[in-house]
């Protein structure tokens, strides 16, 4: 069984193509959670934290739709012709994408899967709009 590669990223940090759209990392499945999950950064007390922090992960997991998405992604990885890589993106890559990626890695490891995790933008400052 091959290891699954999980990548978190922020759309606002990506290079853009000729059509001015962001170019996400290469992956078998790209999950855009900008619309699917509310931004936990709205909770002012976690602004300086990131998705590697269990507190942020708890907030992401309690967001409506997050548990279902997490279960869907974990089941998808378990398919016989499942992916080798999944990239999860949110606006800045600091809260939702990183938190969900860590939660998915934990779930997959609990299912005895080998997981490699890469967080492309979690270390970057928050983008304020």
Q: What is the pLDDT of residue 40?
A: 77
Q: Scanning the structure block, which residue is given the tokens 């270390």?
A: 123
pTM of the predicted model, to two decimals? 0.94
Residue-wise over 30-49: b if at least 16 C-beta within 10 A, else e? ebbbbebbbbbbeeeebeeb
Q: Quote the distance between the C-alpha of residue 71 and its chain's center.
A: 14
Higher pLDDT, 80 or 104: 104
Q: DSSP string of 11-55?
A: GGGS-B-TTS-B-PPP-SEEEE-TTTS--GGGSGGGTT--TTSHH
d(CA 54, CA 39): 16
Percent of the chain with pLDDT over 70: 97
Q: What is the pLDDT of residue 101?
A: 98
Q: What is the pLDDT of residues 32-74, one digit of tens each?
A: 999 899 887 667 778 889 999 999 999 999 999 999 999 999 9
Q: What are phi and psi of 22, to 5 degrees?
A: -65, 145
d(CA 24, CA 3): 21
Map out the domains of the chain as residue ranges: 4-119
């Amino acid at each position: 069984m091959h290891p699954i590669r999980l990548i978190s990223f922020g759309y606002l940090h990506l290079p853009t193509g000729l059509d001015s759209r962001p170019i996400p990392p290469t992956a078998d499945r790209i999950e855009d959670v900008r619309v699917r999950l509310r931004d936990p950064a709205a909770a002012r007390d976690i602004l300086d934290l990131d998705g590697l922090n269990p507190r942020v992960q708890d907030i992401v997991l309690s967001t409506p739709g997050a548990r279902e998405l997490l279960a869907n992604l974990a089941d998808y990885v378990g398919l016989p012709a499942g992916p080798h890589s999944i990239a999860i993106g949110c606006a800045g890559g600091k809260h939702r994408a990183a938190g969900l990626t860590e939660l998915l890695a934990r779930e997959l490891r609990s299912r005895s899967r080998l997981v490699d995790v890469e967080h492309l933008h979690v270390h970057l400052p928050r983008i304020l709009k």
